[in-house]
A and B are shown apart, each in its own frame.
Chain A
Amino acid sequence: MVETIIQDISIEALRNGDRAEFAQLVDAYSAPIYRLGLRMLGNEQDAEDVLQNTFLSALTHLPAFEGRSSVLTWLYRIAVNEALMILRRGKPEVNIDDTDSSDDNDQISPTQFVDWSALPEDELLSAEGKQALDTAIRNLPENLRMVFLLRDIQDLSIKDTADTLNLTEVNVKVRLLRARLLLREQLSYYYGERMKKEKSNG
């Protein structure tokens, strides 16, 4: 995650092909890139492909990197594109562009009003609870999931998320809200059922 990342990587040295500097870049950013791939694609082999291809691509394109965005945003953008290429192998319809915003104006209306927010932490973060959360994240539509992963899991700002995905900030905010509300719905359903079961078991 961002806080573990060192700040003193020299763009100039990277552009000039300094291998030690590139090794430092790989050392600093490989874990978050791998985690992003894992979250996006759901399996270790694809995540490793994303990781390797991202740094190979970075190596090729570093001389042209103008430093207009942060290195992290730039690497994430490459990683997202690599992951999308893998996703499209199986599903050519995957599209996260701004033009794919036909449903962005539809407000998601909450339908679940079970208050599970005060359940004990150990219950919410049990192995089963975590699995429910992972499944809910995986079930998000692709265009919402990408925004959610970058903003809420990788901890990018709204602006960096927008830059990474080539979306407007407004679009990022709309999709983030939809993603959060959809997750909330799914978790409310899940914990609602559990609370009902516990009640009936006395």
Chain B
Amino acid sequence: MVESTHETCEGLLGSLSDYIDGDLGAELCRQIEKHIAECEDCRIVVDTTRKTIDLVHASNDPQTGLPDDVRNRLYKRLNLDDYLKPSAK
């Protein structure tokens, strides 16, 4: 990171999660956007961190159900066999 804006780079890093999650106020967002327009390293850190989280979400398929055999054993262990419905998959 560039030496002359070291403090601002550190400040940006502290607010990075809140910024990416959209939990930061408008004024702080504006300050960060102004900073990353001038600081290429911080711009890269923001973009690649955001992309990292996007990739985590994209590769995590929430529709992945429980494997049928795991489900059957679970219901059996809990004595819930009679409630075993066909898998929703």
Which of B1, B44, B52 touches A114 (beta carbons < 8 Å)?
B44
Q: Please tell me the number of chain A residues within 8 Å of chain B, measured between CB atoms.
A: 49
Complex Cα distance, B66 from A130, in Å, reads 21
Complex Cα distance, B70 from A51, in Å, reads 9
Using CB atoms, name the residue of chain B closest to A3.
B62
Residues of A contacting B14 with CB < 8 Å? Answer: 107, 177
Q: With A107-B13, A110-B45, A177-B17 as given contacts, are A117 and B51 in contact (CB-CB < 8 Å)?
A: yes
Q: Is the CB of B70 within 8 A of A34?
A: yes
Q: Please tell me the number of chain B residues within 8 Å of chain A, measured between CB atoms.
A: 39
Complex Cα distance, B62 from A155, in Å, reads 10
Top 8 A-B pairs ranked by shortest CB distance? A1-B62, A23-B83, A117-B47, A117-B51, A177-B17, A115-B44, A184-B52, A184-B49
Interface residues of B (CB under 8 A from A): 1, 10, 13-14, 16-18, 40-41, 44-45, 47-53, 55-60, 62-66, 70-71, 73-75, 77-78, 80, 83, 85
